[in-house]
Amino acid sequence: MITGATSEELAERFESRAMGSPLRLIVGDGATRADHRTRRWRSVVAEFEAAEAAMSRFRDTSELTVLNRNAGSGVAMPTSARLRRALVAADRAYRVTGGRFDPRVLAHLDRLGYRGALVGDGAARSDGGVRQRRARSPGPVVERVGRDRLVLAQAVDLGGIGKGLALRWAAARLSTDGAGDFMLEAGGDLVTRGRSLDGGSWRLGIEDPCGGPTPLAVVAVSDLSLATSSTRVHRWTVDGRTVHHLLDPRTGEPADGGLAAVTVAGPDPAWAEVWSKALFVSGRTGIVAEARSRGLAAWWVADDGTLEMTAAARSLTVWVAAEAG
């Protein structure tokens, strides 16, 4: 996602990196003192740092890495409230989406070469991926033991939903601190609140996953979140074939349903992230029925570059490129 020029020209912006992605805050409430805006930005950075410390699979010392190292042992591990909330949210998303969202894909990501922190020796992780693919348990993602202990049967990756939760928590912190008009973005997923400084909605572009410089469409939103699942960035070659990080949990392989990107708008960034992934896994033949049945505002780009959208998404769209269909 990219922001419209009008909002960027008028609003103050802050930028950094978090969770392996660009992080930026565009503040639209111009009457707020500069020191207050700076303090709010620092609170956003702190929130994302805390989220990474809890949920990153790339950090050797994160809570999730420690928990993953004990996955399958049956040992209940103490966890922070933040990680517990994240794993409970992932478990609910797994159930609501009928398994199309499932964080238990870590072994498959490792097998395909998209590795994070080491949670075991290489042979064990590779073999574990095979066993998981052949005999997946339909059980819960996580089991709670007592007040603050959790048990994982299989290692998990909280990448996408973790970023959505970090956005949720950071946006809530901004709102609590009195920020009324802002856009907070992390690697293309974002939260908007209130109005941009020009007094209108936040105008955002649906980017071309094929790398074109012009957005395929422009949408106008206020008090909504958007999340995109795309094959544009995380693509690599394994044994002569091109793969990506959006795996179909039912096969353990990159989803291959004829889609290049899916964007979903909704009130919550974590659920927008969940549905963008679940719809991507549904593929081009299944996405229409699924998105409509859920009443989702969704845009999707097929492998041939065709842009399509639901009626709910069309009501938010203010411009579509002629070549996008």
Beta bridge partners of 205: 2, 218
Query: Which pLDDT belongs to residue 126?
Result: 39
**Is 63-157 the same fold as 2-52+162-324?**
no
Q: Higher confidence at residue 233 or residue 205?
A: 205
For 2-52+162-324, CATH gives 3.10.520.10
pLDDT, tens digit, 9 for 90 and up, residues 80-109: 999 999 999 999 999 999 999 999 999 999
Query: Which pLDDT belongs to residue 287?
Result: 98
Closest by CA to 200, choosing from 44, 5, 58, 12, is: 5
DSSP string, 2-24: EE-HHHHHHSEEEEEEETTEEEE
Separation CA 310–CA 316 (nearest Å): 10
Residue in the block written with tokens 């790398």: 211
pLDDT at 32 over 70: no
225 close to 162: Cβ distance less than 8 angstroms: no
Query: Which pLDDT belongs to residue 23?
Result: 97
pLDDT at 73 over 80: yes
Query: Which pLDDT belongs to residue 31?
Result: 56
Q: Where are the domains of the chain?
A: 2-52+162-324, 63-157
pLDDT at 29 over 90: no
pLDDT at 4 over 80: no
pLDDT at 135 over 50: no
pLDDT, tens digit, 9 for 90 and up, residues 314-325: 999 999 997 665
Q: How far lies 194's CA from each of 42, 200, 269, in Å?
A: 20, 9, 16
CATH for the 63-157 domain, from 3.40.720, 1.10.3980, 1.10.3470, 3.30.70: 1.10.3980
Separation CA 19–CA 49 (nearest Å): 8
Separation CA 242–CA 114 (nearest Å): 13
DSSP code, position 137: -
- Average predicted confidence (pLDDT) for the chain: 90
DSSP string, 265-308: EES-HHHHHHHHHHHHHHHHHHHHHHHHHHT-EEEEEETTS-EE
Q: How far lies 203's CA from each of 297, 317, 323, in Å?
A: 16, 9, 20
162 close to 58: Cβ distance less than 8 angstroms: no
* Its pTM surpasses 0.85: yes
pLDDT at 156 over 80: yes
Mean pLDDT of the 21-36 span: 81
